[in-house]
Each structure stands twice: as C-alpha cells, then as structure tokens.
Structure 1
C-alpha cells in the first residue's frame, strides 16, 4: 500500500505475530474506528450494534467521546490525546489475533493525527490478511436542501481522510456533499454524482442523499467501474441521525457474508428505511436499534432499484 506504512511494532516477526495465527472458521472480526456517544444510536454505537447483531465480532476503538449527537444540542466533546490514540492503534496492529480480522470500518475522526494512525492500522490488517475489506465512511460534513451546512470537522482532518484513507478503501459511503468535497467535482445531478464517486478511487462507492427520480424519495447510488445502480425509497420526515452509520455497517456485513454489491444494496438500504420508519412511528429521536433489531437481519421493506446507464470508462 503506497503511502500507508504500518506501525513499526506491527512488522515484528515473533511467535505471537499476526502472521503466526491463521484466520478462524466462521464470521471474521471487524475493526471499527468511530465516535462513541453515551446516549443514542449514532456513530460507533450504531455500527457495533448492527455488526454484532449480524454475528460479527467487533474490535471497537473510539475516536471521540460525546454525551449525545451534536444535533441534539451543545455538549462536551473529548478527543483522546493523539499519542494515546496512536499507541492503541499500534497495539491493535501488532495483536496476535490480527488474522481474525476480515474488515475495517472507519467513520468519524476527532483529528488528523487519528487518521494517520488509522491508515497504519488498515495497512497492517491488509498485510496480515490481504482479502480483508476496508470500508471508509468519510464523515466530514453535509449540506441541507437550502444550501446551508458544509464541513463539520476541521479541514485538516477532512484532507487527511481524503489523502490517506480513501486511497486504501475498497468501499466508500459518502453522502452527496462528501462525494463532491472529496472529489472536487460538482454533484448537482445524478450523472455528476456518479462521476464524482468514480473519481474517489474505491472500487465500490455508495453515495447517499443522491438525486432521486421519484417525488419525495431518498436515493442512494451504488457506483462501480462498469455499472451504477440507483436505489430509492420514500422520504420519511423527521428521520433520526445514524442512518449513514447503519447503512455502512449492514452493507459491509452483507458483503462479508458473500453477497455481491448488487444483492447487498437493497438488503442494507431496506433495513435502514424500515428502521427509520419504525423509529419515527415510535416517536423516538434516535434509531430504535434494540427494540427493532430483527429489522437489521430480516428487513421487510422494499426499495426500488434500477440500473443507470453511464458511459464506459475510456481505455488507458
């Protein structure tokens, strides 16, 4: 992996080194780096719950500690010291059980230094298990229909995610604003969003909050090198936060279970749509993951999926 050197402690060859342990039978472990809230179902709380409910062991390294989602109001925010976070990431990178890990999922980061430590951990995991998947959910910002919004973390952190993590990712799950910011391209139309997604680098990109064809609908684009799918479902007013976290986790889980991207998309998005609808019906300001956990495994909601014709990539 060019530009992603694992921590020195991860390269030692000893009887307890990761290469000495083979991957166990059954579902692989997933390493998750994201935020941790005391109350709510966002960030790492949503990701870890969904993955464990689907049968995947999780190694969770929190990047920031919050009492609740910032959208509920101002509150304290604790980011671990950069050296302490890097030391924890380096410990995981040299863990004797690294062969158990089949995937990494990263979300919100508290600093650019954390991104650097995460890049080293991803590289170490892929060195120990080359078939491991890395899903980068580049949680850097959003834009409302009225044009307000933008980056909600320091630009240096967003740049680090763009330059250090996106080149390592097999799968990325940006929203439309994030796809545009990371690629530097316009995303006003479906064609533009597809072009921006392909410019990001990962072989599979899900663009959430994409332009929809149906009135009062929400669209997600699945963009790969030679195909693009658009999935839509009706808009649910008052949707709680955490939908992007849940989509990233459920899509990755379906892929780890052997599904193609095309098959995983409606299953993952159907689970998110149904969870949102059930949460709003319950009058909750958070996703009711525990109460409606069967929805994660067996979603009944249907989403509309259609192929989008796009120009074939030019031969180099």
Structure 2
C-alpha cells in the first residue's frame, strides 16, 4: 500500500507536528510513515516547560535509507515536511525529496515552512529559515505557509488581500505549483481566512473565529495534513481546500465545545472525513 512520509516534530502528550498530522491522515484512509525531527513531552507553549530533544539530521537520513532498502520509497505518494530542529535537518529533507522522487517521479512534496507567527517572529534555529526560503520551498510542489512565512518567501509585506494575492503569485513564480496560506490575519478581523493559489487562480476560504482562553497549537500541522490527504484523494485542489477548511473548523469547534486547549482530533474524527458544517469558497 502506498503511503505518506511525514517528517516533522512530535509530542508525547497532545497534538502538534506529527501527533497533529498522522491520525487525521490515517482516518482519511492513508498509510502514514512518520519520522520525528524532535520529540518533546508536550508542545512548547506550556508555562511549566517541556522535556525531550531534537534528533540528529543523520537520524532522518538513516531512516529513509532503511525505507529505501526494503523498496518502499517507490510506494511513497507524498513527502510532508513541517517543523525542523536544525539547518542540517533541512538538508536531510532535501536529500529525502530527491531520493523519493527518483523512486517515484509522481510523488508530491508538500512543505509546511515552519518559521514562526506574526506575534512571535522567527522562532526557529539559525539557518533554518534560509534553507526553507532558498531550497525547500522552491523545490516543493505545494507550500503551506502562514502570512509571515509567505511574506518571507515572497520578500514583501502583506497588509491586505491584494498584497496576499500578489505574494502568492510571486511564490508560484519561484517553483511551487500551489500555495495554501494557512492563516491570513490581515484580511479580516471577524473571520479566520486562508487562501489557495494555483496557476488557475486564487480562492479565499473563511470560517468563524472561535474563542479560546489559550490558542490551540498544531492547527497549521493539521491544515497541511488535511490538504495533503484530500488532494491525494480527490486530485482537485479547490475541492481539497474546501474540505480542509471545513474539517479544520470541525476539529476546532470540538476543541472549543469541550473547553480544551489541545486539539480534539480524536473526538472530531468523523468530521475529519465528513464535516457537518461547510463554508463556501470565494474565487478571487
């Protein structure tokens, strides 16, 4: 059976990185092969702190070599990369993508270029942002940046919808075939906004903001996974984008309804496949 190679962070408790992405992909019917860049006890926004460590880049390379040795890279439909713990890990991702595409030229590379958020700035180790911008994002088939990460890649400020469209067009000119902006905070104060851009056009997805005492972590990882799975299943980017928006809202709604902070992906598992509430996309 073909699968998805997911290379990103992992937490023992809660849902962020691979522990936000793997189960939704499995629930949608995919085999998922996770490789962890870091393993922490919990995500890093807990005031009590966390334990764990980042892995060596050679750990990624060794695990991929093992997959190659048993002939499974040819059965990889997609590589999904997220949070990287070091610049050297970015180089291991580059090598992995090259190896997988050599074994299966139809495999997709989906890059979630985790650099930071508007209120945090750049939160990654030195060298990672440069490798993402100069190497991994240009070689990706699909990139899933937030507004800050898109502005870094397009090298321009984004203050409104028109800026976002222009930045997506710049991003598409640098290599990727699709850009899914997982959060555009400058577009609307009333609604949570995402954008999909392809060579065929741009689409805006919006859903209601939900109130949380503390903002959930791992939402971007969930969005990247939902879109990757739905695009592989449907082979239609716009339909996949609409489902991604609806399913992400369902998980967040379940989280809010339970008064939780950690994403309630298990509780919302049926709506990952068939969301009850749907929102209409706007073609731009």
| TM-score w.r.t. length of structure 2 | 0.93
2:25 maps to 51
1:198 maps to 169
Q: CA deviation at 1:250?
A: 1.0
Q: Distance in 2 between matches of 1:115 and 1:91?
A: 19
1:280 pairs, out of 232, 242, 256, with 256
Give the secondary-structure state (helix, strand or coil) at the position aligned to 1:210: coil
Q: CA deviation at 1:37?
A: 0.3
1:39 maps to 13
2:98 pairs, out of 123, 139, 144, with 123
2:230 maps to 254
1:174 pairs, out of 128, 145, 163, with 145
Q: Distance in 1 between matches of 2:147 and 2:188?
A: 17
Bigger shift: residues 82-91 or 215-224: 82-91
Q: Distance in 1 between matches of 2:65 and 2:278?
A: 42
1:87 maps to 62
1:10 maps to none
Unpaired runs of 5+ residues, structure 1, are 1-23, 309-316
Give the secondary-structure state (helix, strand or coil) at the position aligned to 1:110: coil
Q: Distance in 1 between matches of 2:167 and 2:138?
A: 15
Residues 68-79 of structure 1 mapped to structure 2, 5 A cutoff? 68-73=42-47, 74-79=49-54
Q: Distance in 2 between matches of 1:215 and 1:179?
A: 19
Give the secondary-structure state (helix, strand or coil) at the position aligned to 1:155: coil
Q: Is the 8 Å Cα contact of residues 115 and 157 (structure 1) preserved in structure 2?
A: yes
2:125 maps to 154
2:239 pairs, out of 263, 266, 275, with 263
Q: CA deviation at 1:181?
A: 1.5
Residues 118, 93 of structure 1: CA spacing in aligned structure 2 closer, same or farther, 3 A cutoff? farther
Give the secondary-structure state (helix, strand or coil) at the position aligned to 1:64: strand
Moved runs in structure 1, 4+ residues, more than 6 A? none
1:100 maps to 75
Residues 205-220 of structure 1 mapped to structure 2, 5 A cutoff? 205-211=179-185, 215-220=189-194
Q: CA deviation at 1:94?
A: 4.5
1:65 pairs, out of 34, 39, 61, with 39
